[in-house]
């Protein structure tokens, strides 16, 4: 199945155009950290559902230790519960350092710690859950095999080295002139 992932950073999404482009699902950001809900979460879930797309979610992590990962899981679950939305696809813990926050805050990039943070989020969420990361994080920082969960690999190009649950193959999928991340769901 082909799909996109979205956040408030994408602005308004014309979901009918997304469906007409052949997309069958959307992964919608719940929020980030322990207190920031994505301002378009409810709107994006409702819009994707309104045109018949399957919907999952992801939560961008700013956790620096396992305790904070547990707090992020509680916050993510609260967003989903309070929104009253049904999700057909898993919720993914987005573990990366795209904006350098972890590095700037003295994060210990220890694979055992990072894997434990992922495990903590997954076990505390109480929903069908997985882990999202770039191939380099999955190879060097996250022992994803030990997590026994869905894996969403961000590896832009023509092949997926992990072949887990889902593959983010590009950040340059254009639909009606608007740029999205493109994904393949293997299920």
109, 96 in Cβ contact below 8 A? Answer: no
Q: In this structure, what DSSP letter does residue 64 have? A: S
What CA–CA distance (Å, rounded) separates 113 from 185? 28
Length, in residues, of the chain? 187
Distance CA 80, CA 74 (A): 10
Whether 97 and 114 have beta carbons less than 8 Å apart is answered as no
The structure's pTM equals: 0.96
Give the model's pLDDT for residue 148.
Answer: 94
Dist CA 73 CA 117 (whole Å): 10
Longest distance between any two alpha carbons in the chain, whole Å: 45
47-87, pLDDT tens digit by residue? 999 999 999 999 999 999 999 999 999 999 999 999 988 89
Three-state secondary-structure class, residue 87: coil
**Each residue of 150-179: pLDDT tens digit?**
999 999 999 999 999 999 999 999 999 999
């Amino acid at each position: 199945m082909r799909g996109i992932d979205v956040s408030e950073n994408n602005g308004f999404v014309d979901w009918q155009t997304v469906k007409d482009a052949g997309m069958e699902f959307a992964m919608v950001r719940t929020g980030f950290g322990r207190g920031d809900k994505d301002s378009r979460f409810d709107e994006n879930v409702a819009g994707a559902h309104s045109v018949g797309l399957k919907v999952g979610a992801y939560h961008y992590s700013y956790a620096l230790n396992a305790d904070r990962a547990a707090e992020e899981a509680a916050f993510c679950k609260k967003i989903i519960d309070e929104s009253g939305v049904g999700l057909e696809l898993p919720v993914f813990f987005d573990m990366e350092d795209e904006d350098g926050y972890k590095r700037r805050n003295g994060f210990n990039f220890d694979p055992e710690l990072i894997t434990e943070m992922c495990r903590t989020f997954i076990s505390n969420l109480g929903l069908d859950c997985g882990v999202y990361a770039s191939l380099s994080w999955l190879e060097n920082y996250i022992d994803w095999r030990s997590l026994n969960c869905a894996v969403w690999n961000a590896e832009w190009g023509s092949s997926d080295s992990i072949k887990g649950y889902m593959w983010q193959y590009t950040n340059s999928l254009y639909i009606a002139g608007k740029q999205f991340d493109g994904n393949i769901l293997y299920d």
